[in-house]
Amino acid sequence: MTGKNDMMGERITLCPLCEADAGAVADLEQTIFGMPWSQKTVADSIACAAETGSSEKVACAALGAFVDGVLSGYLFGAAVAGEGELHRIAVAPDFRQQKIGSALMEEFLRWVSRHGAGGTWLEVRAGNHAAIALYRKYGFLETGRRRHYYQNPTEDALMFVYH
């Protein structure tokens, strides 16, 4: 999972996250999410991606987006039993509206396809309109709602699937 794209005069590099990125990702988690992952969870997710190969029944993805060497966004997901799972996608506030989320999503959808996923699912806060727009842009369809699923603040989760 690597690549470069020209965006608004800047260079974005997509590449697998490594152990050294865990602190920066955990810092962004604290900034972005009401229920942030701990640095240990981030590090474990990065390690899972580093340890799994294309022949595994469960493969993990840990993808970073870097602009001029600065972590600008990241994505965590998995391919399990023929299905993709998007666990986390985030773009740093200073880098939003620069197509970084789109670049991450496109690379992830290619990745799950290479891992034999017939579909991909995710959950998102009902009030996260930017993320919902991104998912719909890529053909995800809303399939359900989990009431009061999220905390900090309490909010419903919308469930989406992509085929």
Token pair recorded at residue 9: 């005069």
CB-CB neighbours of 112 under 10 Å:
23
Catalytic residue from among 29, 74, 107, 135:
135
* Cα 86 to Cα 94: distance, rounded to the nearest angstrom: 23
CB atoms within 10 A of CB 154: 10
Q: Is 114 in a helix, a strand, or coil?
A: helix
Q: One of 83, 106, 123, 142 is an active-site residue; which one?
A: 123
Is 135 annotated in the active site? yes
- Catalytic (active site) residue 107: no
Asked whether 139 and 156 are in contact (CB, 8 A), the reply is no
Tell me the catalytic residues. 123, 135
